[in-house]
Chains A and B, each alone.
Chain A
């Protein structure tokens, strides 16, 4: 990494507006060969838009993009790829119905006699996969592999060509610790080969581990470009959220743990589902925050879905208030006062084309049935109350939810369940992919809710967050519940359990 060589990518004065939104305003950005450059910012800061402008998905309204000193204007990702800019997106953007080899090489496949040379293609794909240490059959169909492997295939695709610029847009969100380490190893290799890597991640630890330089965006404008070693976390966070850190500190203050000894609200006895989560026992008390810690694929979400009846358990039983509850589906869980915010906001949470108002009352309305509409007056009261309480922006109840930022969407989803006054609130990754400000607000809310007597089951990939918020931590590994820890535990304790060191006998279940 050196500034003596000229930047490989230089974006000058980029502006781009969508109807009603100024996504980027006069943003400068540069990327040097042989560096890992982190693009930082809250959700809605313009990171994705800037990346998509670079990769030819969007065309800027004004400003110029220079690649190796030459002005370029890509009108499609294909053109950008040909010029040596490869991209791996947060969601796996591959075709699950095709083979691994096709996914890696389609568009630049080896040919023979005018047709695709499949043996050569598989061989080439195997080479590329071997380079990043993934050993799967290139002829297998992509959808037969877990998401994490699909993500690595996406990376294999990106490096299958001699790319000069590699854009990694939150590639780590679906990888476990081992896979992240593997990815970083690959990134370092590529960096040392002179590839310029643009890296986006919400995990600050990862950014500080891998990035040489960072550019911070806020609300579509450039805040600054710094060498990682010159910018400590505090400074970075203030740059990103553009305000004092009071909110985060408040949460840390509120994190004094209290052990809750109230009555058991929800008890799972041997609840399980084949292929999803092994039978487990779990007690959740009123006013208690139970954290679920575990890697991706450890069965976190699956456990939560069983408690909510989103999937049917094939063993064990659920007891609410001392009475066994037969969950036929989400409706019976909701009737028992259980609410579930899915990790997949877009797919399983919000109804994007409906207004904030309709989304807010959806669960309440569903519980009442279609024949008893929520009275207009009550609706307005609720909407007004929660728009203010959760600081949802824009505070316009008629705005379509699709137009909101990730953080605000998450708040609308939360509000939908708060409206139903649940006794157990299950939050699956409520803070994933949202900005730090909203994150702090949601963490604060969880603490407040618990203090008011609501039981909360809190799931997060960020162990630090779980440890900070939870009164009790349930640790999962390989679809088994392996331990329960007190709130005072440290991240190290949790990590040790997950890392698979000998399991202490008393917690083996």
Chain B
């Protein structure tokens, strides 16, 4: 067997498809609307979706390992609430940031431990986590709490100028750093490869002596950390804390990951795919807002349709690969 026949370009197909889709939607926008194809519109895509990018990165880890995390939207809400309430109580900004990240990671750790130690389905455990985080928001305050801290506000409004007059916020920098870190961890570290292995076949990974327990708990810690970080970014974006922030955002994160070409069954997928997935979702929203006459619910319908297309494509690929395997055997 030669290298040519055994290498599988089809593994990259979904990601490629996502990139093409992004180019297409963006292309449609640039052709139809003046001012769409500007660097700033692209920058705005990142600015408006920085929190979702961070969230999708965390979700990618979980889904790659074969799990799912429904709690991320609620943890974002809880983080905005802790941020807002902390700042209102006069905590210094660094302390607030540390508190938020610690809370998010701890929630992730707890969920991961319950999932791993007691063998309860991730779906149910993170659903409980979702309820818990949302409920905790309302324990802090039922009302929306606005953020008035000047340091925080100055960070939120600060912009970085890029060549070409394009401006971005610090949110974007953080999101990009998170993506880079995730790339390194997933592809260059033992933990990352073990994450793929656990998603591919957990029993085998265990028998291969890989640290499955660390992976299974670790991905939820990462997801919890990312959710908390996304919550901080969301606080910077909204400048308020509210228990009803980010309702349903877990679905957006899952949709972005799936549209990005990651198999929900685990084991196959890429962080860059998830990033592109977020950008596709963002572009669609931008398109609909540029259109003006289309109502917002079309976003949901289009996302649903996209999900469908990508799932069907993945399904076809899995079948194709099986057939290929059968012929090889």
Contact = CB atoms under 8 A, between A and B. Distances in A.
Note whether A and B contact each other (Cβ less than 8 A).
Answer: yes
A93 B329 contact: no
Interface residues of B, number: 37
B267 A95 contact: yes
B208 A106 contact: yes
Interface string B75-105: 0000000000000000000000000000000
A57 B204 CA distance: 12
A87 interface: yes
A76 interface: yes
B311 interface: no
Given A143-B321, A147-B329, A106 B197 contact: yes
B1 A95 contact: no
Contact of A116 (B188, B199, B203, B324): B188
B208 A93 contact: yes
B189 interface: yes
A456 B177 CA distance: 65
A96 B201 contact: yes
A157 B210 CA distance: 13
Interface stretch (A60-68, A132-140, A348-356): A132-140
Contacts of B199: 97
Interface string A79-113: 11110000101001111111000110011010000
B189 A115 contact: yes
A276 interface: yes
Contact of B6 (A114, A116, A136, A148): A136
Contacts of A93: 201, 203-204, 207-208
Contacts of A76: 206, 209
B205 interface: yes
B201 A94 contact: yes
Nearest to B206: A77
A102 B193 contact: yes
Given A97-B196, A115-B189, A157 B7 contact: no
A369 interface: no
A108 to B, nearest CB: 9
B31 interface: no
Interface string A145-162: 111100000000100000
Given A95-B201, A102-B193, A140-B3, A78 B209 contact: yes
Contact of A157 (B196, B208, B325): B208
A95 B197 contact: yes
A275 interface: yes
A297 interface: yes
B327 interface: yes
A136 B328 CA distance: 13
B203 A98 contact: no
A145 B203 contact: no
A140 B6 contact: yes
Given A95-B201, A96-B201, A116-B189, A143 B325 contact: yes
Nearest to B327: A275
B326 interface: yes
A315 interface: no
B34 to A, nearest CB: 46
Contacts of A89: 207
B193 A116 contact: yes
B295 interface: no
A144 interface: yes
Contact of A109 (B8, B190, B327): B190
A297 B210 contact: no
Contact of B205 (A80, A95, A145, A147): A95
What DSSP secondary structure best describes chain A's contact surface? Answer: loop
A106 B210 contact: yes
Contacts of A297: 329
A113 B132 CA distance: 41
A106 B267 CA distance: 15
B209 A107 contact: yes
Given A115-B189, A147-B329, A275-B327, A95 B200 contact: yes
A126 B328 CA distance: 21
A241 interface: no
A106 B329 contact: no
B190 A107 contact: yes
B2 A137 contact: yes
Contacts of B123: none
A141 interface: yes
Interface string A118-142: 0000000000000000011101110
A146 to B, nearest CB: 4
A80 B206 CA distance: 12
Interface string B222-240: 0000000000000000000
Interface in A280-304: 297
A139 B8 CA distance: 10
Contacts of B189: 114-116
A76 B203 CA distance: 12
Contacts of B6: 136-137, 140-141, 144-145
Interface string B273-287: 000000000000000
Contacts of B205: 95
B209 A98 contact: no
B201 A81 contact: no
B196 A275 contact: no
A87 B200 CA distance: 20
A95 B324 contact: no
A200 B326 CA distance: 28
A385 B323 CA distance: 42
Nearest to A112: B188
B290 interface: no
B268 interface: yes
B200 A97 contact: yes
A94 B203 CA distance: 9
B194 interface: yes
A80 B211 CA distance: 14
A358 to B, nearest CB: 25
B184 interface: yes
Interface string B294-329: 000000000000000000000000000101111111
Given A95-B200, A137-B7, A106 B188 contact: no
Contacts of B325: 143-144, 146
Contact of B11 (A78, A94, A95, A141): A141
Contact of B3 (A79, A87, A115, A139): A139
B196 A95 contact: yes
A112 to B, nearest CB: 9
B1 A136 contact: yes
Contacts of A79: 209
21 contacts: A76-B209, A77-B208, A93-B204, A95-B196, A95-B208, A95-B267, A97-B199, A97-B201, A102-B193, A106-B190, A106-B194, A106-B208, A107-B208, A109-B190, A136-B6, A141-B11, A144-B321, A145-B6, A146-B329, A157-B208, A275-B327
Interface of B: 1-3, 6-8, 11, 184, 188-190, 193-194, 196-197, 199-201, 203-211, 267-268, 321, 323-329
Given A57-B207, A109-B193, 12 more contacts: A80-B209, A93-B203, A95-B205, A98-B196, A106-B193, A107-B208, A114-B189, A140-B6, A145-B328, A146-B328, A147-B329, A297-B329
Question: Closest 3 CB pairs between A and B?
Answer: A140-B6, A78-B209, A115-B188
